[in-house]
Each structure stands twice: as C-alpha cells, then as structure tokens.
C-alpha cells in the first residue's frame, strides 16, 4: 500500500531534549512538508522540501531543523530552542511534476514535552 | 486580516439537512483552493480541489467566488458520518505552500 507513515504516533519528552520525528512516503512524491497544529489553530508550515538535499523555511521554522537526504524521507528535529513544542505534527507530500497541488497527509505525531 | 478565515462553528444540523460553509481569503492572486476533512485527532484528508469556478463530487459541491474572495462547501443530505472539521486551504508562495484556515466544525445529529 502506498502512503505516508509517521512514527511514533505519540511521543513524550522532557524539556531541554531534542527529538526527531520520522516521516516516510512511498508515493514517489517530490515535495514534502511539515506542519504543526495546535488546538483552535490552523495548520502552520514549519519546513518544506521540493527536491532532495534542498529545503526551505516555512512560517514558523525557529527551533526546528530538517534534512532531505532521500526522496522518501523528511525527518523533523524539534530542538530545545523551540519554546512551545507540544503540538500535533503532520507531514505531507505531493507530486510536483504534474500541474496539481494537492497535498496528502500522514497520520501525525502527537508530541508532548513536559 | 487573516490570510484565510473560517467560521469555527459548530454547525449543528439534523441528518438529511443541507449545510454550507464559507472560507474567505485575502490574497486575490490565489489560483487554487482545497477543502480537507479532519476527524477528531486524525490527519486532514483531501475532500475536494477547486481550480476554476467550482467542483462537485456526489453530495459535496465546492464553489469559488473570486469577486468576493471566498470559497464555499455545500453538503447535501447530511449524514452522521459527515460530522468532522472542514478545513479550507489556499495555494500561496508561488505554488509551493498551502495556507490553511482554522476549520469549521460540523455536527450532524439524529
């Protein structure tokens, strides 16, 4: 089955620790995205990548880092510099080669930092 | 003004009713629009794309009003299973980004 996987589903960390969230897709999509969602707020873009070894900051990149070493993978690191890391993190991907812009989401990771 | 605005609801409607939500946007250059459905504590799932004036898929119709800068989602013959939050998104950043509204919550009741 093709799709986007994110692991783990729930993640708990102590304040001051870095944590890496996994996102893998086997859809052969070119572009990948990371969003965070907080209660009562819309999805906010953290980082995105359109090709391997290249990525751009989104609207709220401070305190986060990413890498794109493989087309299938786009891990997100939440660093200790992120002031409010507790949130629902969603990874998405889309095909760039065709003239459509639909993004498809993985199941998300709920991160709780105490 | 926010880039994308939605009435948070909730919209409580009886089963079988027709319900419509609007989503207003501020960037008049936006060309592509999307409706996603999000169930509680789940990921958003693409419901419809709107690239021109509108789109229809079964009980769901999306329409674009460029003059007034809003898109609408109409759901006919509401089912209990339609209960969810509906997010609208517009294409920004030269086609590289989607900007999302905060969502409209729909509750369909017996």
Mean pLDDT of A23-46: 94
Name the β-bridge partners of A23: A6
Q: pLDDT-based confidence at B110, cuts 50/70/90?
A: very high
Tell me the average pLDDT across B12-40. 94
Helical (H) or strand (E) element with A90:
strand A87-94
Q: Is A56 helix (H, G, I), strand (E, B) or coil?
A: strand
Tell me the pairing of strands A54-57 and A87-94: unpaired
Determine the pLDDT at residue A1: 62
Q: How many CB pairs under 8 A join A and B?
A: 50
CA distance A98 to chain B (A): 12
Contacts of B42 in chain A (CB under 8 A): 107-108
Three-class secondary structure of residue A8 per DSSP: coil
Number of H helices, E strands in chain A: 0, 11
* B43-50 average pLDDT score: 95
Please report the pLDDT score of residue B108 as a whole number: 98
Does residue B43 carry a pLDDT above 80? Answer: yes
Cα–Cα distance between B47 and A95 in angstroms, integer? 17
Compute the mean pLDDT over every residue in chain A, rounded to the nearest whole number: 94
Q: Over the Cα atoms of chain A, what is R_g?
A: 13
What are the chain B neighbours of A104 within 8 Å (beta carbons)?
Answer: 46
């Amino acid at each position: 089955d093709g799709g986007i996987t994110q692991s783990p589903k729930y993640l708990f960390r102590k304040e001051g620790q870095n944590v890496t969230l996994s996102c893998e897709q086997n859809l052969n999509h070119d572009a990948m995205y990371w969003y965070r969602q907080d209660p009562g707020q819309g999805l906010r873009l953290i980082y995105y990548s359109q090709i391997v070894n290249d990525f751009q900051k989104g609207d709220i990149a401070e305190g986060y880092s990413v890498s794109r070493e493989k087309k299938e993978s786009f891990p997100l690191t939440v660093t200790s510099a992120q002031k409010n890391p507790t949130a629902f993190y969603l990874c998405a991907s889309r095909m760039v080669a065709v003239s459509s812009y639909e993004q498809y989401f993985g199941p998300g990771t709920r991160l709780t930092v105490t | 003004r926010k880039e994308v605005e939605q009435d948070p609801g909730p919209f409580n409607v009886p089963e079988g009713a027709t319900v419509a939500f609007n989503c207003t946007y501020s960037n008049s250059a936006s060309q592509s629009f999307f409706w996603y459905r999000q169930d509680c504590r789940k990921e958003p799932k693409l419901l419809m794309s709107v690239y021109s004036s509108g789109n229809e898929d079964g009980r769901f119709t999306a329409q674009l009003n460029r003059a007034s800068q809003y898109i609408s989602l109409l759901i006919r013959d509401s089912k209990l299973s339609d209960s969810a939050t509906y997010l609208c998104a517009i294409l920004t950043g030269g086609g590289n980004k989607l900007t999302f509204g905060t969502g409209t919550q729909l509750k369909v009741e017996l």
